[in-house]
Structures are given as C-alpha cells and as structure tokens.
Structure 1
Amino acid sequence: MVSQKVTISNPTGLHARPASQFCKFLKKFKSKVFLITDTGKADCASIINLLSMAIKQGTTVELQVSGEDEKTALPEIVEFLKSLKE
C-alpha cells in the first residue's frame, strides 16, 4: 500500500461531475483506491461513496492505493485530482 495527501483545488470540490470523472479515470488501474478524510474513508470505485464524503475545495484528503500497480498509479491519481477544473 502507498499513500499521499493532496488538497482538492477544484472550486466545486468533488461533486457529481468531478466525482464521476474520477471514478472513470480509476478504472484503468488494477489497484484499489481509497480516499480518507477526517470524517471517514471511501472506496473510490463507488461514486456514491465519494459523494457521501461531501468534499469541498481546500479539503486535504489522503489517497491510499493498494495493488499490483500501486506505485505507478498513485502519482497519476494525484495529478488527476490536482488538475480537476470545473
């Protein structure tokens, strides 16, 4: 397992559209991805789990990636989250 913290910079946070884009992006990896905040942990394969976290702009989250491609997946996932724009 590898992990890294990242601050959500998207002005609208992770609402429906960015959360959907994020879930689609993660399908290219074999690893499981979890997003952790002060309020809980979400399996990023589920848009419902992500939306239930109500992540707003400026929230720092921890990404946990676990699986055979975890080391290559984590930097790509972090970059994707940082580049989300609405």
Structure 2
Amino acid sequence: MRMARVTVGLDRGVHARVATQLCECAAQYDSSVFLRTHRSASAANVFDVLALGIARGDEVTVMADGTDERLALAAVVEFLTADPHPGMQSAD
C-alpha cells in the first residue's frame, strides 16, 4: 500500500462532475484507491467521494493498494492537486 497527503487545488473542490472524473481516473487502474479526510471513501464510488465534502485547500490522504498502486496514486494525486488555471501566470 502506498499513500500520500495532498492539499486539494481544484477551484471548486470535488463537486459532482469532478467526483465523476476522479472516479473515472481511479477506475483506470487495477489497484483499489481510497481517499481519507474525516473518514475514508473508495475512489470507485462517486457518492462516497461526494459525501467527503472535499473543498479547495482541504488536506486529503490518498491511498492505493494493488499491482499498479504507484501509478494509481500518482494519477489521483495529480488530479486532486491540478493547477485550476493552467497556462496562467501570476502578475509579479
């Protein structure tokens, strides 16, 4: 089992569309993927993911267990921490 603690970077957190995309991302792998905030949820179940109420800036522990756990963990971590505005640069 592998795990990583991340800060959610998604602008609107994990709402219905994003939860569906997250579940689709996790489903690409043979490994079981779980998210943990105040409780745990399978990343394979959109309703469980939504029930976590994940908002931008929340700390989430991502856990993956299985034959491709390293790849699954990396994909879900990248999804949750994605730059909400790729290509935009801050004005210095």
Q: With structure 1 as the length reference, what TM-score do the two structures score?
A: 0.90
The corresponding residue for 1:83 is 82
Q: Corresponding residue for 1:69?
A: 68
Return the letter of the residue paired with 1:23: C
- Indicate the percent of aligned positions where both proteins have the same amino acid: 35
Determine if contact 1:6/1:63 at 8 Å carries over to the other structure.
yes
What is the CA-CA distance between 1:76 and the residue it aligns to? 2.0
The letter for the 2-side match of 1:16 is A
Q: Structure 1 counterpart of 2:12, which letter? A: T
Matched, 1:26 2:26: yes
Q: Once superposed, what is the RMSD of the aligned Cα atoms?
A: 1.5
| Structure 1 segments unaligned to the other structure (5+ residues) | none
CA distance in 2, matches of 1:44, 1:84: 20
Moved over 4 A (4+): none
Matches within 5 A, 1:27-46: 27-37=27-37, 39-46=38-45
Unaligned runs of 5+ in 2: 86-92
Q: Deviations over 1:32-85 (max 9, x none)?
A: 000001x20001100000011111110010001000111222122211221274
Residues 1:84 and 1:41: Cα distance change in structure 2 (over 3 Å)? farther
